[in-house]
Every structure is written in structure tokens, then in C-alpha cells.
Structure 1
Amino acid sequence: MERLEVSSAQHLQALSALLSAQQDGDGDDDDEEESKNVTAYAQLGPGHIGPPPKKDKEESTAYVKKNSKDIWNEEEVAEGSQYDDLADPRPQPEYEIILKQSVGTEDLFLGLSGKDPSSMCCEAMLVKIKLPDAKATDVVLDVKEKFLDLRTPKYKLGLHLPHPIHSQEGKAKFFTDREELEVTLLLKRSTDFIKIQ
């Protein structure tokens, strides 16, 4: 144990001698070189880690954009942006998103299906939208894979959904006593093709 402590003390003394020798050096020339090196390193960021990016891909995309008369690609535009109307003064209603899963007794007590409480095991998404002073006939609802568009005479909601859904397999129900619309949407999950038996 004592030998390790002595060697570490010797290392500290050697490091101290190295640092003091560099500070006592020529002075001005070394300081200028060190400041140049520091500014060169200061300009580096996380993007400089690893191999440099391939330029073939950048040139090919630039070439496609130069020859095309389109201003943007369809992939670059977020779904539902065509519904954004900044001049529309209607307020956005209150809403809540709840993820749901079908659970039976075999899941609760025996854990046979392998389901857990995570969102990965959810099958549906429930969107509850508060619509005070609205009727079921006033509601216009349009659902896309990643976007829900709701319009009433008093409210407007353009909601980007947190998970992709099956747009043709959903249902909506309006509760007049609560003045609330409940939209149930089936999730499109990446694990749907796996059948657990």
C-alpha cells in the first residue's frame, strides 16, 4: 500500500514539474501557439466526431432539386400542415390523449400474453375532446394516419398524433351530457405482424 502512495506522489511531483516548466518557458511565442491551438479546438463540435460525411449523397440530392421545378418534396412537409390557418380566430378546445390496451384475467393474474403496462403493448388511442356549446351535427372530423382535424362553428383542432393509426378503423361518439367527443383510433404498431400464442 505504501509503495502505491509513494509512486502516486512521485507522479504528482513529475506532473507539477512539467507544468511549471511549460509556464516558465519562452513566454510570448508559446502563448501565441497555445492560443491558436485552443481556438482551433474551440471551433470543433459534436459533428466533427467520426468519419467525414460522404459528399456523393449531398451532390445527388442537390442535383435532383436543381432539375426539379418543385419547391419542396412531399416528405419534407408535415402531415396536416394544409389545415393550419393562422387567420382562423377559433380557439383550440381542451383535449386528452389516453392509450388503451385490452387486458383479460389471463393477463392480470397469469401474465400469459406477455403484455406489460408500457405504451408498446397498447392497441388503441382514445382522444377526449371537450366541446362546450356544441352539437353532434356541428362536428366535422377528418382523421389521417398521423393527424386529426376537428372543426365546429366555435372550435378548431389540428392535432398531430403521437403514434400512427389505422385511419379507416376508428370510431367516434359524442356525449351531449358531458359535451365531449371521444374518438377511438386503432394504433398501427411495428409489432402487429407478430402473433403471440
Structure 2
Amino acid sequence: MEYLEGSSVQHLKALSALLSTQQEDEGDEDCKNVSTYAQLGPGHIGPPPKKDKDVSSAYTKKNSKDIWSEDEVAEGSHYDDLADPRPQPEYEIILKQSVGAEDLFLGLSRKDPSSMCCEAMLVKIKLPDTKAKDVILDVKEKFLDLRTPKYKLGLHLPNPIHKQEGKAQFFSEREELEVTLLMKRPMDFINMQ
């Protein structure tokens, strides 16, 4: 009990030293310890701050003249130009899956008509009064950008795709562009091939 009373007295002295504006006389050993603790503040909690030279590599600028990198900008955000008066063409997204006789008659691959079993995405875009040479198409992992002199389309895709494995075909008699994109699907027991 004597120990607890002594420690509580020390704690009270330390608390009074923190709260008082005047320094107590330095004759007491307890007061010397209190004054050392009184100099500590909230900034002393935790690890010491890093020096300016120890800045983490995540915030260091690369040796290029670019203001930002492509990783810092969300896909498709720079295509939403409100000042561009060109209308958006009509489009349709169709999910596709390759089905063989073993799937249709025997059900060997466990595929069903749901969208989880689809491997590709077909985007049909109607472009009236447009020639194939006027179409500028840029496909990213989650975004399709189409520009013509009369139309613009910035389309956020419903599923991520393999941007290097797609194909596009323009049908001038229908004035329609068909873009077929292979989707990145999780490998589960349904999608295993």
C-alpha cells in the first residue's frame, strides 16, 4: 500500500508540473524527474519523424517531364469533355460464349446461359454517315474510346478485358462498327477450359 501511495504522489506531482506555469524549486529529486517529463509533448509519441532525405519512393518524382503518370489518372476520366458538342452514337453490348456440341448436348463443361460463362464481349456501334478511315478507336482494360468527325463515345466497359486480344470490323453497308473484346474472367470451376 505504501508503494501505491508513493507512486500516486509522484503522478500527482508530475501532473501539477504539467499544469502549472511556474517551475518548482530544483532541490527535490522527484521534481527533477517531473521537469523532464513536463518537457515532453504529443509530438514525442511514436517513432521519430523522418528526415527530408528519407522520403519514401512512392512520392519521389521520376526523371521525366510528365506532370503525372497514367497510373495516377482514372481510366476514362479525361474523355468526359462537356465542351465537345458531338453526340454519342447508339451502341449495344452483347456478351458471347463459345459453345460446342459437348456443351449443348452433353453438358460436359458445365456452362450455362448466364453471363458468368461468357468469354467475350461484342460492342456494336452505329455510325451513320461515317467512313472506316475516319474512325479512331482506343481500347483500354476498362474503357473504350471512339472518335469520329461526327460522333464521340467514351464507354466504361462492364468487365475488364485483354486490350491486346480484341478485333474491330467496320461494316459500311450497315454503317456499323463491331468491336469484339476478350474478357478477363476469374478462373473458377465454371470458366475452366
- TM-score normalised by the shorter chain: which range applies? 0.5 to 0.7
Count, aligned residues? 131
Alpha-carbon RMSD? 2.8
Q: What amino acid is aligned across from residue 189 of structure 1 in structure 2?
A: R
Q: What amino acid is aligned across from residue 76 of structure 2 in structure 1?
A: G
Q: Which residue of 1 aligns with 2:76?
A: 80
Distance, in Å, in 2 between the alignment partners of 1:132 and 1:73 is: 36
Q: Which residue of 2 aligns with 1:147?
A: 143
1:119-158 mapped onto 2 (5 Å cutoff): 119-158=115-154
* 1:96 aligned residue (85, 92, 97): 92
Q: Which residue of 2 aligns with 1:167?
A: 163
Which structure has the larger Rg? 2
Which runs of 4 or more aligned residues in structure 1 lie more than 3 Å from their structure 2 counterparts after TM superposition? 72-78, 192-197
Distance 1:140 1:123, change over 3 A: same
CA positional deviation for 1:69: 10
CA positional deviation for 1:73: 11
Distance, in Å, in 2 between the alignment partners of 1:106 and 1:69 is: 55
- TM-score normalised by structure 2 residue count: 0.61
Identity %: 84
CA positional deviation for 1:77: 5.1
CA positional deviation for 1:78: 3.4
CA positional deviation for 1:196: 4.0
Distance, in Å, in 1 between the alignment partners of 2:123 and 2:136 is: 15
Deviating more after overlay: 130-139 vs 183-192: 183-192
Gaps of 5+ in 2: 1-58, 62-67
CA positional deviation for 1:79: 1.2
Distance 1:158 1:116, change over 3 A: same
